[in-house]
Amino acid sequence: DTGVSQDPRHKITKRGQNVTFRCDPISEHNRLYWYRQTLGQGPEFLTYFQNEAQLEKSRLLSDRFSAERPKGSFSTLEIQRTEQGDSAMYLCASSLRGTSTDTQYFGPGTRLTVL
Amino acid sequence: QQPVQSPQAVILREGEDAVINCSSSKALYSVHWYRQKHGEAPVFLMILLKGGEQKGHEKISASFNEKKQQSSLYLTASQLSYSGTYFCGTDRDDKIIFGKGTRLHILP
């Protein structure tokens, strides 16, 4: 058990609807990452936070995606006006310090299906 | 740029050995290895650091060739529980860029 939790585990929505996912990192972990994973691919970086500050957002991420980590603890990822191409597993990970030598621990993911 | 993993898939019998390779076109400072079972989150296995230090799994070993920008994961005397997809990740500005994975299937 890595200690990172995500909610919900599964989400089915219709195209055009908004969805929001939540991630609770391991307590005391300063870094929080969001990844997207599609079938047969590795996790693809979306964005990450150092405490409450969003430090980087992938150029692949459209303006329909927004993430927050308001108090430096849990984080939310919102997708507005969902499209079928958004269907994927959304993974959250956290690490203690966020250096390149630091281990990232992943949560179980939220599987999104857009109909 | 995404690291390249080889082979894409491996089928072994229990007790056999496997090697999974990971190469990058850019200089490596650290390489991270994860295993993911179907429908589950990636689980940390090992991290290899520039200079030779490694931290991780006691039954799995790995090498890191900084000059060749390559890493290899060695699974010896494989067990059924080793089945899954193995991902290597290379660090890029404090984030991990993952390869496409190597699917490992262990037969009894």
CB contact under 8 Å between A2 and B41, yes or no, is yes
At A19, is the pLDDT very low, low, confident or very high (cuts 50, 70, 90)?
very high
Best probe of the A interface among B35, B57, B95, B103, by most A CBs < 10 A, is B95
At A72, is the pLDDT very low, low, confident or very high (cuts 50, 70, 90)?
confident
pLDDT at res. B94: 78
β-pairing verdict for B102-107 and B9-13: parallel
Segment A92-114, tens digit of pLDDT: 999 988 666 788 999 999 999 99
CB contact under 8 Å between A100 and B101, yes or no, is no
Segment A29-68, tens digit of pLDDT: 999 999 999 998 999 999 999 999 999 999 878 899 999 9
CB contact under 8 Å between B98 and A42, yes or no, is yes
pLDDT at res. A97: 80
CB contact under 8 Å between B47 and A101, yes or no, is yes
In Å, what is the CA distance from B91 to each residue of A40, A50, B26, B28, B32?
Answer: 21, 16, 10, 7, 8
pLDDT at res. B54: 65
Does residue B99 sit at the A interface (CB-CB below 8 Å)?
Answer: yes
**Please, what are the averages of pLDDT over each run of 10 residues along chain B (108 residues)?**
94 94 86 92 88 67 87 90 95 86 95
Q: Does residue A12 carry a pLDDT above 90?
A: yes
pLDDT at res. B53: 61
Select from B57, B62, B60, B65 the least CA-distant residue to B23. Answer: B65
Does residue B38 sit at the A interface (CB-CB below 8 Å)?
Answer: no
Q: Distance from CA of residue B95 to its chain's centroid?
A: 17
Phi, psi of A89 (to 5 degrees): -95, 130
At A16, is the pLDDT very low, low, confident or very high (cuts 50, 70, 90)?
very high
Percent of chain B that is helix, strand, coil (3-state, to 5): 5, 55, 40
